[in-house]
């Protein structure tokens, strides 16, 4: 970690080219979560877009943990974020870097800014600043720092109060505008009059949030800042500080929020949960990635695509300006698609522990891969698949009432004939299907009249995939034993 931190630090000196506009410069993006909670859908989508943009341009994707809020940051949250990214395969090329390990660097930059005159000490106490704001509000003005300690040519500053530790403020330009062409929102202009002289270091010397972000983006030579639009208000402040440092501006792109299906802010019930809830519920990472990719970005009408395809397509020009809406049904639909595509062996490894928890025994039962191949068409989640597959791995216990309703004296002779044929028949689905048809014809019965009691005797349920497929999978021995149990 130390080596990595150092290499980032020394990079600062060479950060003077505008990487975003120079074709020769490598794209460098970052995902910069604050580890105050799990990785939720919004964060995962930001990470995905930053990662995909780097992949698209043969660039570098950086993970930076913004852990300076020591009250709210936890190692568990760091772990949860890293796990979430690992599950999705969003592997950083550099990092994780931790802001708490870069304090020395921030102090160094603050010292340099004080020397350069782009920052200054301010000895106002929080109470004084509050009183200042009260006065401004009372006078109908916008509350802001009044520049008491801001050095100006020919201005005499107040005497330094004894024993008082100052904050450091950024000397924000007072005239002109800050303008950037947001990759998502288009051109944005903010007047410098709207911006205060931001505190960049507290009385104890610890740097503040916006300042750390700028130093990091500068040192890490970030070319494209892709982040949620809850940060759009920070951007003009960050741009001014970056300019004061002599850094070139990255491209900024602010992603619109993700709303719930009801159009409201994402709630716990709808996606405001850890992405790691999704594997627990039986979602495959490629379904989640495909889903997130379309959340605020589009490529014509394409809905289903691989990450390889996405990385080849992804651009900032097709990001939507309006909030995206989380649609759990669509996620489930994609999950079904990817479950159908998945290798049976992979699915088996996922369902096996779930089924074992449910009491499944795999010793004499049918081959799990074949069972999954049969069942995977209709399920939305791996958990549903595990549940459906249990059909083949537990002793059937049909409800007596159902059994007597379907296993009537009228159909028993046909079932006995079926059981007898089962002893000798070539155990293939086609042969079994033909045999069942012959038995039906010979006893003048309709399909459900035999299929239903067969289902009940073999699985205990009335809902199963095609009876011939079920019979084939169970195999001769199990089928004969189960029929014998009920038919005597
Ligand atoms: N740490 C910020 C967050 O988690 C992101 C800051 C940024 O991307 O600039 O919301």
- Name the residue ranges covered by the structural domains of the chain: 342-392, 400-487
Range in 130-134, 258-262, 342-346 with the lowest mean pLDDT? 258-262
What is the distance in A from the centroid of ligand 1 to the CA of 85? 16
Q: How far is CA 131 from CA 5, 134, 136, 137, 164, in A?
A: 41, 5, 9, 10, 18
pLDDT at 475 over 50: yes
Predicted local distance difference test score (pLDDT) of residue 16: 37
Closest CA to 230 of 71, 30, 28, 34: 34
What confidence category does residue 363 fall into, taking pLDDT thresholds of 50, 70 and 90? confident
Mutate which of 37, 66, 95, 229 to test ligand 1's pocket (most atoms within 8 Å of Cβ)?
66
- Look at residue 12 in the predicted model and tell me its pLDDT: 39
Question: What is the C-alpha to C-alpha distance for residues 404 and 457, in angstroms, rounded to an integer?
Answer: 11
Please tell me the distance between residue 270's alpha carbon and the centre of ligand 1 in angstroms: 22
List, for residues 401-459, the tens digit of each pLDDT value.
Answer: 999 999 999 999 999 999 999 999 999 999 999 999 999 999 999 999 999 999 999 99
Q: Nearest 5°: CA angle at 145, between 139 and 149?
A: 125
- Pairing of β 324-325 and β 258-259: parallel
Assess whether the C-beta atom of 67 lies below 6 angstroms from ligand 1: no
Nearest to 380 by CA among 315, 486, 291, 468: 291
Distance CA 221, CA 61 (A): 11
Mean pLDDT of 453-475: 96
Count other C-beta atoms under 10 Å from residue 126's C-beta. 9
Residue with tokens 């039962």: 365
Average pLDDT over residues 25-31: 95
CA-227 nearest atom, ligand 1: 8
**Does the Cβ of 35 fall within 6 Å of ligand 1?**
no
- Residue of 29, 30, 33 best suited for mutating to test ligand 1, as the one with most atoms within 8 Å of CB: 33
What pLDDT score does 262 carry? 82
Token couple for 317: 């020009």
Other CB atoms within a 10 A radius of the CB of residue 428 amount to 11
**For residue range 271-299, what is the model confidence (pLDDT) as tens digits?**
668 999 999 999 999 999 999 999 999 99
pLDDT of 5 strictly over 90: no
pLDDT of residue 113: 98
Q: What average pLDDT does range 80-97 have in this prediction? A: 97
- Cα(35) to centroid of ligand 1, in Å? 10
Q: What is the pLDDT of residue 11?
A: 39
Residue 261 to residue 430: CA distance in whole angstroms: 46
34 close to 247: Cβ distance less than 8 angstroms: no
460 Rama sector, left if φ>0, alpha if ψ -120 to 50, beta otherwise:
left
Rounded to whole angstroms, the Cα distance separating 35 from 70 reads 10
CA angle 221, 49, 34 (to 5 degrees): 70
**Over residues 60-81, mean pLDDT:** 96
User: CA–CA distance from 104 to each of 70, 204, 325 (Å)?
Assistant: 16, 13, 42
Average confidence score pLDDT of the chain: 92
Q: Pairing relation of β-strands 251-255 and 224-228?
A: parallel
Query: Is 19 touching ligand 1 by the criterion CB < 6 Å?
Result: no
- The model's confidence at residue 267, banded by pLDDT at 50, 70 and 90, is low
> Measured from the CB, is residue 213 less than 6 Å from ligand 1?
yes
pTM: 0.89
Active-site residues, by number, are 268
CA torsion, points 181, 260, 296, 300, in degrees to nearest 10?
-150
Report whether residue 227 contacts ligand 1, using a CB cutoff of 6 Å: yes
Runs of H (alpha helix) within 305-424 = 307-313, 328-341, 344-357, 368-375, 382-389, 400-406, 412-424
Q: How far is C-alpha 306 from the geometric centre of its chain's CA atoms?
A: 16
Taking the alpha carbons at both ends of the chain, their separation in whole angstroms is 71
The predicted structure's pLDDT at residue 14: 37
Which of helix, strand or coil describes residue 225?
strand
Is-contact 389 355, C-beta < 8 A? yes
Going from the C-alpha of 442 to that of each of 406, 422, 434, 437, the distances in angstroms are 19, 16, 12, 9
User: Which residues, 6 or more positions from 207, have their beta carbon under 8 angstroms from its beta carbon?
Assistant: 68, 103, 106, 107, 110, 200, 201, 215
C-alpha to C-alpha distances, 55 to 49, 269, 350, nearest whole angstrom: 10, 33, 29
Under the banding of pLDDT at 50, 70 and 90, the label for residue 22 is low
Per-residue HEC secondary structure of 269-311 comes to CCCCCCCCHHHHHCCCHHHHHHHHHCCCECCCCCCCCCHHHHH
pLDDT on residue 269: 66
- Say if residue 137 is exposed, middle or buried (CB neighbours under 10 Å; 0-12, 13-18, 19+): exposed
Locate all alpha helices (DSSP H) within 89-176, ordered by sequence.
103-116, 126-138
Q: What is the DSSP letter of 390?
A: G
State if residue 42 touches ligand 1 by the CB under 6 angstroms criterion: no
Query: HSE on the CB side for 38, CA within 13 Å?
Result: 13
pLDDT in tens, 318-346: 999 999 999 999 999 999 999 999 998 99
| Residue 217 CB less than 6 A away from ligand 1 | no
Distance CA 58, CA 28 (A): 9
Residue 389 Cα to ligand 1 middle (Å): 43
| Strand runs labelled E in 220-287 | 224-228, 251-255, 258-259
CA of 32 to the centre of ligand 1 (A): 5
**H or E segment to which residue 189 belongs:** strand 186-191
Q: How far is the CA of 75 from the centre of ligand 1 (A)?
A: 17
Structural fold of domain 400-487: Arc Repressor Mutant, subunit A (1.10.10)
- Phi, psi of 265, deg, nearest 5: -55, 145
Least confident of 2-6, 104-108, 113-117: 2-6
In this predicted structure, what is the pLDDT of residue 56?
A: 97
Q: Read off the pLDDT of each residue in 363-372 and give the average, rounded to a whole number.
A: 88
With a cut of 80, say whether residue 24 has pLDDT above it: no
- Whole-number Å distance between alpha carbons of 45 and 51: 10
pLDDT recorded at residue 264: 81
Nearest CA to ligand 1 atom 7: 32
Nearest atom in ligand 1 to 230's CA: 10
Task: Report whether pLDDT(225) > 80.
Answer: yes
Mutate to test the pocket of ligand 1, among 37, 212, 227 (most ligand atoms within 8 A of CB): 227
For residue 231 and ligand 1, the question of a CB distance below 6 A is answered with yes
Q: How far is the CA of 110 from the centre of ligand 1 (A)?
A: 21
pLDDT recorded at residue 13:
37
Report which ligand 1 atom has the smallest distance to the Cα of 33.
4
**Is 8 a residue whose pLDDT tops 70?**
no
Give the residue, out of 31, 95, 231, with the most ligand 1 atoms within 8 A of its beta carbon, to mutate for a pocket test.
231
Residue 3 or residue 139, greater confidence: 139
Rounded percentage of the chain residues whose pLDDT exceeds 90: 89
- pLDDT value at residue 362: 87
């Amino acid at each position: 970690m130390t080596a990595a931190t150092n290499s980032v630090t020394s990079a600062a000196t060479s950060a003077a080219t505008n990487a975003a506009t120079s074709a020769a410069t490598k794209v460098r993006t970052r995902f910069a979560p604050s580890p105050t909670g799990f990785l939720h859908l919004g964060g995962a989508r930001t990470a995905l877009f930053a990662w995909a943009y780097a992949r698209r341009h043969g660039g570098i994707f950086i993970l930076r943990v913004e852990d300076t809020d020591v009250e709210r940051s936890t190692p568990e949250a760091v772990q949860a974020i890293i796990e979430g990214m690992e599950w999705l395969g969003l592997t950083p090329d550099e990092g994780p870097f931790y802001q708490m390990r870069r304090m020395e660097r921030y102090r160094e930059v603050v010292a340099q800014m004080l020397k350069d005159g782009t920052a200054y000490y301010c000895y106002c106490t929080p109470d004084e600043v509050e009183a200042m704001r009260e006065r401004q509000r009372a006078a109908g003005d916008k509350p802001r720092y009044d520049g008491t300690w801001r050095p100006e040519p020919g201005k005499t500053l107040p005497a330094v109060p004894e024993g008082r530790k100052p904050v450091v403020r950024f000397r924000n330009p007072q005239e002109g505008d800050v303008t950037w062409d947001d990759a998502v929102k288009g051109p944005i202009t903010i007047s410098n009059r709207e911006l205060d002289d931001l505190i960049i270091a507290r009385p104890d010397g610890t740097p503040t949030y916006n300042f750390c972000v700028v130093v990091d983006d500068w040192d890490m030579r970030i070319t494209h800042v892709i982040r949620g639009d809850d940060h759009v208000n920070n951007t003009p402040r960050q741009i001014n500080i970056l300019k004061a440092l002599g850094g070139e501006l990255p491209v900024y792109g602010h992603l619109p929020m993700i709303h719930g299906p009801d159009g409201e802010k994402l709630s716990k019930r709808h996606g405001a949960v850890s992405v790691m809830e999704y594997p627990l519920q039986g979602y495959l990472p490629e379904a989640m990635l495909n889903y997130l990719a379309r959340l605020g970005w589009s490529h014509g009408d394409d809905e289903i695509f691989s990450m390889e395809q996405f990385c080849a397509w992804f651009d900032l020009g097709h990001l939507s300006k309006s909030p995206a809406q989380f649609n759990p049904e669509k996620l489930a639909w994609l999950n079904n698609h990817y479950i159908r595509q998945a290798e049976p062996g992979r699915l088996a490894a996922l369902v096996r522990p779930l089924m074992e928890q449910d009491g499944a025994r795999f010793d004499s039962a049918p081959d799990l891969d074949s069972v999954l191949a049969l069942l995977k068409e209709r399920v939305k989640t791996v958990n549903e698949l595990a549940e459906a597959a249990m059909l083949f791995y537990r002793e059937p216990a049909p409800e007596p009432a159902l059994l007597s309703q379907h296993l009537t004296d009228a159909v028993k002779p046909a079932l006995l004939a079926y059981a007898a044929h089962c002893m000798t028949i070539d155990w293939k689905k086609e042969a079994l299907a033909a045999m069942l048809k012959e038995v039906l014809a010979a006893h003048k019965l309709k399909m459900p009249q035999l299929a239903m009691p067969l289902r009940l005797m073999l699985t205990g349920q009335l809902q199963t995939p095609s009876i011939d497929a079920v019979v084939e999978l169970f195999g001769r021995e199990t089928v004969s034993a189960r029929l014998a149990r009920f038919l005597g």
